[in-house]
């Protein structure tokens, strides 16, 4: 420790303040390998999970929720490549986090079937935040229209792979799509949970997932 840091530490403790270092932990997950090693858990007994190979994408196709074993997510960034289906009202996929179980969790998810629509309102229904069970999408849309969902920027093709970066802070959540500097969604968290399960989330038709990176 050099003299400047030592002086800062002494002054901080003298004035009653804290003094600590913080370090980010970045982990790249091979979700194919995790599945083979039984390090992922299905949320529902009848859901399907299959290995996926598509060019440089090595991942999984699944419906339901697939939790990562032994990963307690608090705050940080979740990066994931996703691909949905261009079938109206049948393709929803994203990331579940701060989960207690299958019924109590937060989710950021996308509606790929709205990516290319010419309907301006539907275009604003492409990325969504929900907090189950108290704040499902229909309640949020009715009581807080266009607050917890928004258009993505830029718009991917409906059946193309796209990248999502989900930044989860103590009190808010920010979503970026395809490495854009402009957020597609910025919302306040709707509960006091500060940690919990994290997993891949898909509802309706199976969704494709690859290249999961979690930075805490």
User: What are the tens digits of pLDDT across the range 103-159?
Assistant: 999 999 999 999 999 999 999 999 999 999 999 999 999 999 999 999 999 999 999
Can you tell me the mean pLDDT for 92-108? 97
pTM for the model: 0.89
pLDDT at 4: 46
Of the listed ranges 18-22, 41-45, 66-70, 193-197, the least confidently predicted one is 18-22
- DSSP-derived secondary structure letter, 181: S
Banded model confidence at residue 12, pLDDT cuts 50, 70, 90: very low
Pairing relationship of beta strands 91-99 and 197-215 according to DSSP bridges:
antiparallel
- Phi and psi at residue 26, in whole multiples of 5°? -110, 125
Q: Which two tokens stand for residue 46?
A: 């009848």
């Amino acid at each position: 420790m050099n003299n400047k840091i030592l002086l800062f530490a002494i002054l901080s403790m003298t004035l009653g303040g804290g003094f600590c270092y913080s370090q980010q932990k970045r982990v790249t997950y091979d979700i194919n390998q995790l599945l083979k090693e039984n390090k992922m858990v299905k949320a529902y007994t009848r859901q399907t999970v299959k290995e996926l190979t598509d060019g440089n994408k090595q991942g999984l196709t699944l419906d339901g929720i697939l939790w990562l074993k032994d990963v307690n997510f608090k705050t940080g960034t979740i990066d994931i490549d996703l691909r949905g289906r261009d079938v109206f009202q049948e393709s929803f996929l994203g990331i579940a986090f701060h989960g207690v179980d299958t019924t109590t969790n937060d989710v950021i998810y996308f509606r790929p079937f709205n990516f290319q629509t010419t309907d301006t309102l539907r275009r604003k229904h492409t990325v969504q935040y929900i907090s189950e069970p108290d704040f499902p999408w229909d309640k949020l849309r009715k009581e807080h229209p266009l607050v917890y969902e928004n258009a993505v920027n830029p718009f991917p093709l409906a059946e193309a792979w796209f990248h999502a970066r989900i930044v989860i802070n103590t009190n808010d959540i920010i979503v970026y799509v395809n490495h854009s500097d402009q957020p597609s969604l910025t919302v306040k968290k709707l509960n006091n949970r500060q940690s919990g399960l994290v997993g891949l989330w898909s509802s309706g038709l199976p969704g494709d997932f690859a290249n999961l990176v979690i930075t805490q």
